[in-house]
Structures are given as structure tokens and as C-alpha cells.
Homo-oligomer: A and B are copies of this chain.
Amino acid sequence: MTAVSSPVPRRERLRQATLDEIKRTAHTQLAELGPAALSLRGVARAMGMAPSALYRYVDSREVLLAELTADGFASLADALEAAFAAADPHDHLGRWLDVARAHRRWALDHAVEYTLIFGPRVPDGGSVDSRVAAELERSVAVLFRCMTEAIGAGLVDTGHIDAGLTPAMYARLRAWAGDHGVAIDPGGMAVCLAAWTQLHGFLSLETFGHLPPALDDPADLFDRQMIDVFAQACRAIAPTGPPAPTT
């Protein structure tokens, strides 16, 4: 009929364009003023349109925030996946470190999104946006792959860790692994969990300004801890010293 060359009917393309602009300016306001100060009227003002016009594209302020949150999750997941893909697949420690560093850099560069993402869930608590959940899974999956592949390479003695788990823990960790579609030892999942909590704990303290100022730029301390996370997992197999650094 009309322009078959463009598969999307132009009308919809324009709509998508302004929706993108809305998101972009909202994102800017967010980064500059913080999540609490994001106002639809402010966005409308910056775009030179009436506040009410925004409602043709956005259901409500909260929905817009949720959308930006999901975008943030996606952006983080992309960064992690890119770091994972770019790393040497045979140097498991190095790859883990690369991914962890990518996570840190992203957190520092996107402090506000980090708040949105890892801050408290929506007060209503009701339905966690399904897209948010999916993107979170994607991020966590990358972190897990670093560990599971190291386990697969025989760097971690998961049996030793299993021994420290009660049957109840064992069962739930196994269930969790099932949720992720991976078939690894519960001990391996325990390692993943420890890695994730430590990574997130450090970054949340740092990005939210709770680390003591005496620790100036804690990049090296972060590296040190992430290496230790890995080394702790490998401890049963390599009793002394950090394993196979080979920068």
C-alpha cells in the first residue's frame, strides 16, 4: 500500500520517537536531581509541551519510573554481558574480575539508576515488573556464569562446600539452580550467592557514599576483595596463595 519500504507505519515511528525523547529527558532530570525530584511537569517543560500531553505516552509518574528502572537493569546486564564476552574464556579469575569491574564502573557511572535498581522495591510491593525481574536475572546470570564455568573447569571443590550445608540449605540452593536452568552443585550456588552479595555490598556502600573517605579511591580494594571472593571459592583446591594469576 503506502510505503512498504518502512515496515513500521510512520505514525508509530513518530510516537516511538517522542516516547524515547520523554525517556531521555526524564533520565537526564533523574540523573541531575535524583529520583524524588523527577517531575512529569519538569519533563514536559524541558520538552516544551503541556504536562497533560505526556499522558498520551506515559500512564503515570510511577510507571515512567518503573520503565526507567527496567531500562537501567537492561543497561547493566548489557555491560556485564559485554565484559564477559570480551574476556579470555580460559582465565576464569581474570574474567570474573573483568565482570566485577564492569559492574563497578557501571554503578559509579550510573549512581542514580543503581539506586533505582537496588533500592527498595516499589512501596506497593505488589507486582514486581516482570521485565525488571527478567533483566535482573540476566545480570545475575552473567555473574553466575563466571563461577559455574570455573567450577566446570575444576577450579572449585564444590563437594567441600556442600559438606558445610545443611540438608535444608542444600535443597533450596538446588531449587534455585533449577530456576536458573543450570545444573550445578548447591555448593556452587553458595559460591555464587557469596560472590553476588559481596559484590553488591561493596558497590552499594561505595556508590551511596557510606565508605569512609579515608579509603579515597577504593578501586584497588575492590579488586582485592573480588579476587578474594574467587580465591575463597578455590581454597579447597589451591591451599596457598591466589590461584594462577597470570595477568
Residues on A lying within 8 angstroms of B by beta carbon are 33-34, 36-37, 111-112, 115, 118-121, 123, 125, 128, 136, 164-166, 168-169, 172-173, 175-176, 178-179, 190, 193-194, 196-202, 204-205, 207-210, 212, 214-216, 220-221, 224-225, 228, 232, 235, 239, 242
- Give the docked Cα–Cα distance between A199 and B210 (Å): 14
* Chain B: CB-nearest residue to A116: B120
Interface of A is mostly: helix
Q: Would A214 and B123 be within 8 Å (CB), given that A205-B196, A221-B190 are in contact?
A: no
How far is B172's CA from A198's CA once the two chains are assembled, in angstroms? Answer: 21
**A204 proximity list for chain B (CB < 8 A):** 118, 200-201, 204
B208 touching A202, Cβ below 8 Å: no
Contacts of A200 in B (CB 8 A): 201, 204-205
CB within 8 Å for A208 and B176 given contacts A190-B224, A201-B200, A224-B164: no
8 Å CB contact of A201 from B164, B201, B209: B201
Known pairs A128-B209, A197-B201, A225-B197; A215 contacts B176 (CB<8 A): yes
Query: In the bound complex, what is the Cα–Cα distance between A168 and B220 (angstroms)?
Result: 9
Q: Beyond A190-B224, A197-B202, is A176–B212 a contact (Cβ under 8 Å)?
A: yes
Q: Return chain B residues, CB-CB under 8 Å to A242.
A: 164
Partner of A197, one of B115, B119, B136, B198: B198
Shortest distance between the CB of A137 and any CB in chain B (Å): 9
A165: B residues at CB distance < 8 A: 224
Per the bound structure, the CA–CA distance linking A221 and B161 in Å amounts to 12
**Pairwise interchain contact A214-B176, C-beta atoms closer than 8 A:** yes
- Chain B residues with CB under 8 Å of A128's CB are 209
Judging by beta carbons under 8 Å apart, are B119 and A208 in contact? yes
A37-B123, A198-B198, A232-B232 are known; give 14 further A-B pairs, CB within 8 A: A112-B120, A115-B120, A118-B205, A119-B208, A121-B210, A165-B224, A168-B220, A169-B220, A169-B224, A172-B221, A176-B214, A176-B215, A179-B212, A200-B201
